[in-house]
Chains A and B, each alone.
Chain A
Amino acid sequence: MAATDMRPRHADLGLTDEDVLGMYRAMLLARAVDERMWLMQRAGKIAFIISGQGHEGAQVAIAWPMRKGTDWMAPFYRSIASAITFGMSAEDIITAHLAKGDDVSSGGRQMPGHYGGARYNLVSLSSPVGTQVLHAVGIAMGAWVRGDDVVTMTQFGEGTSSQGEIHEAMNFAGVHKLPVIFVCENNGYAISVPLEHQVGGGSVAARAAGYGFPGVTVDGNDPIACYAAAREAHERARRGEGPTLIEAHVVRLTSHSSDDDQRRYRDPAEVEALKGRDPIPAFAAVLRSGGLLTDEIDERMRAEIKTEINESSARAEARPEPTADDAHERVYAEPIPGGGTAEPLAAPTSGEGH
């Protein structure tokens, strides 16, 4: 892209230079946290990692129009960059991965990658895929019932798009024009199974037409395009015009998880080529060509982030471990009787009979 094209493109969308540099910084931060998680996993400090590397451009840009503290998000397990954009700090995420007792997502109860934070309107995630999409629709329904100006965004992969709950969610949202944005991050693989064996028709976005709302396809490596789609979807939702489905084509730079090795099912040339499809250098190049990003700014950002990650990691590691005593707490709002909690009756006294 020519430098002369860059400024008008983001400026036309209402983004300031600070905004686009902020988006770039959020992408860098998400990547840095993600990489630190892998290091900690390799060092034996974390049992399991599921990565968002390659999804950052789409995630940051699509979350960017969302209003912190007002709008809601139901994430999926690669939502690290969205979670950061929504307000989770590096320390929050590292603390959650270390399963510390005061982690904001679950207090050490959930596996890594299960993002959530009530204080960020970021709905706690489970592991069966697709369930969160119905929660997003339910939050949107709640806002619609109450007449609140609130938009809910949810994310899932193209593998999850096969789940029946996605159909149920989109159909219902379409019926009532609920203020919800469905984001399918299509990285081409459901663990090992490629798109052509997962998605009939080849396009998730095309399915939106059947539900009566727009489905748009964007290049996830083009954050400005992703932002444009998300901003339009957000405005549509606020105008009461209903949902939008955004299908962002992204790359999965890592294996599915730390328990997977994608070399077993991806062509070596394809794996090698992934490096050239990394959204971070791609966006950096755009920003540089627009004159927004210089070596000096880039180096300063990266240095700041390195410090932030180091300090966040140190603080997270120093946080208290959960205790076994706590494991039976907060099952219900208040502890309930029954189910084995009653004391045995004292034996009848001698002579007592029936």
Chain B
Amino acid sequence: MAELNILEAIRGAMDEEMERDERVMVMGEDVGRKGGVFGATEGLWAKYGDKRVLDTPLTEAMIAGAAMGAAIYGLRPIAEMQFADFVYPAFNQIVSEISRIHYRSNGTFSAPMVIRMPYGGGVHGALYHSQSNEAYFTSTVGLKIVAPGTPADAKGLLKASIRDPDPVMFFEHKKTYRLFKAEVPDGDTVVPIGRASVAREGRHLSIFCYGYMRTVALEAAETLAREDGVEAEVVDLRSLRPLDLDTILTSVAKTGKALVVHEANRFGGFGAEIAAEISEKAFEHLDGPVTRLAGPDVPGVPYHHTLEDWFMINPSRVVDAARALAAY
């Protein structure tokens, strides 16, 4: 077991997969000699050379579209969007092409590739370096969407994503990169896509979360246990599509109350899908309204720290929402 932070885990996953499979390559802005603006690809350029670790021009559509071409050709590209916020020039390639090539060719072509998406706020990045834009992609059939919250999951899920036969968008919350270190299994440990993990057992209510919100929810759960005697079960979804509904519904059946937490804005957010599934499939088990705690419906995370703090989901807000639900 090694103690790694999430950034080191991501780097380790790419390194091991490039070592294991010469078809794997990395492409993106500043991923080469610099090692990425966050350092995720540090060391890879020196080890694998400037073709397999390819610095691209500032062209997100090209990064996605050329990665798709390379995937069709037989490579396993990892395309880095420098910030998830900058993905929109590539939206057409992702939605019209990458997600559809398998279906539209009746399964004769496919795009096994990963798009790494550094996302999320709380990093003083303001409107254009803080977005949680996963809902644009979770609603796109043909993509798989992953959002780990621990170093072990980051490493294991990235390895799974690289090996996956379908295109995977890998959402990595920037605030978690160096937030904490945790044990990561040594060796070739793959975490399967599509399985949630119960991060904390509880019996009074279920908190569904992913990415950085796992850390926030766990901290809130400790407060709830200590101050209220409320035992919250924290379910880290890890994969948003495919979604592990069995684990979600099993937890709801156990607790009867569901709080869905995400940083992305509320209206039409991914939490709405979870809430709808719970309402449709576990209605008889519910002992309170399925509740969402989500980012506010403003166009982006504002810059000033007072404004950013107002935007961000933090443990005390989760505690407040959980208390209200627990008391229902």
Contacts and interface: CB of A to CB of B under 8 A. Distances in A.
B65 A332 contact: no
B43 to A, nearest CB: 19
Contacts of B73: 72, 138-139, 142-143
B62 A168 contact: yes
A162 to B, nearest CB: 14
B175 interface: no
A345 interface: yes
Contacts of B249: 342, 345
A210 to B, nearest CB: 14
Interface string A99-135: 0000111111110001011110001101110010011
A354 B284 CA distance: 12
Contacts of B89: 164
Contacts of A72: 73
Contact of A137 (B66, B109, B241, B245): B66
A171 B64 CA distance: 15
A48 interface: no
A144 B51 contact: yes
Contacts of A268: none
Interface in B136-175: 141-142, 144, 164-166
Interface string A329-354: 11111101111111111011000011
Contacts of B284: 345, 347-348
Nearest to A332: B166
Most buried by B among A134, A138, A164: A138
Contacts of B109: 116, 118, 123-124
A37 interface: no
Given A142-B70, A144-B51, A164-B61, A118 B105 contact: yes
A29 interface: no
Interface residues of B, number: 64
B277 A340 contact: yes
B243 A338 contact: yes
Interface in B52-104: 52, 54, 56-57, 59, 61-62, 64-75, 89, 92-93, 96-97, 100-104
Contacts of A193: none
A165 interface: yes
B245 A342 contact: yes
Contacts, number: 190
Contacts of B71: 138
B227 interface: no
Contacts of B56: 172
A331 B141 contact: yes
Contact of B245 (A164, A338, A347): A338
Contacts of B51: 144-145
A20 interface: no
Nearest to A175: B57
Interface in B28-56: 51-52, 54, 56
Given A171-B57, A345-B285, A118 B108 contact: yes
Given A134-B93, A142-B74, A332-B142, A109 B242 contact: no
Contacts of A334: 165
A142 B74 CA distance: 8
Interface size class of A (residues with CB under 8 A): 35 or more
B281 A110 contact: no
**Chain B interface main SS type:** helix
Contact of A106 (B69, B105, B281, B282): B105
Contact of B241 (A105, A119, A336, A353): A336
B257 interface: yes
B285 A348 contact: yes
A169 interface: yes
Given A172-B56, A331-B102, A126 B96 contact: yes
A200 B122 CA distance: 45
A116 B97 CA distance: 13
A342 B281 contact: yes
A131 B110 CA distance: 16
A77 to B, nearest CB: 14
B186 interface: no
A253 interface: no
B104 A106 contact: yes
A205 interface: no
B164 to A, nearest CB: 8
B142 A145 contact: no
A331 B103 contact: yes
Given A123-B72, A131-B92, A142-B74, A330 B103 contact: yes
Interface in A69-113: 72, 74, 103-110
Nearest to A133: B65
B96 A342 contact: no
B107 to A, nearest CB: 4
A109 B104 CA distance: 6
B306 interface: no
Contact of B57 (A116, A128, A172): A172
A343 B281 contact: yes
Contacts of B282: 344-345
29 contacts: A104-B108, A109-B104, A109-B106, A124-B108, A126-B104, A131-B93, A135-B97, A138-B67, A139-B73, A141-B69, A142-B75, A168-B59, A168-B61, A169-B62, A169-B65, A171-B57, A171-B62, A172-B62, A172-B66, A336-B144, A337-B243, A338-B242, A339-B273, A344-B281, A345-B281, A345-B282, A345-B284, A348-B253, A354-B256
Given A134-B68, A340-B277, 16 more contacts: A118-B108, A124-B105, A126-B104, A128-B96, A135-B65, A136-B69, A141-B66, A142-B69, A145-B54, A164-B61, A165-B62, A165-B65, A330-B103, A337-B242, A344-B282, A345-B249
Closest 7 CB pairs of A and B: A138-B69, A134-B65, A107-B106, A338-B243, A354-B256, A138-B66, A330-B107
